[in-house]
Amino acid sequence: MNTIDLINNLSVKHDITSGRAEMIVSIIVERLVEKLKKEGEVRIMNFGTFRVLQKQPDSGSFLKLSEPVQLARNLLGFVPDKVFIETINSQ
């Protein structure tokens, strides 16, 4: 499922316009990113926990300057909630 599929399913199942569904999805993603940037962790009950994992910076090179540049290596981890796993496994 991609974003378009999610928006279409949301609009059909809840009888709302696709524009409104797109706005809902956009707001949820924006708030999720804001919270992850601010606190580094977001827990959604019965779904799972998103966590920013900070790795040691890696070095790369900026081609125009031919100088080494430190690259941030933040990754995003997800641990599904027990209820979510049980729901997936029950189908």
19 vs 12: CA distance, rounded Å: 12
Does pLDDT of 4 surpass 70?
yes
Q: Which residue has the higher pLDDT, 28 or 73?
A: 28
Three-state SS at 28: helix
Where are any strands of DSSP class E within the chain? 41-44, 48-62, 67-80
Does pLDDT of 82 surpass 80?
yes
| pLDDT tens, position by position, 24-70 | 999 999 999 999 999 999 999 999 999 999 877 776 666 666 677 77
Q: Against a cut of 0.85, is the pTM above it?
A: no
Rounded to 5 degrees, what are φ and ψ at 17? -70, 155
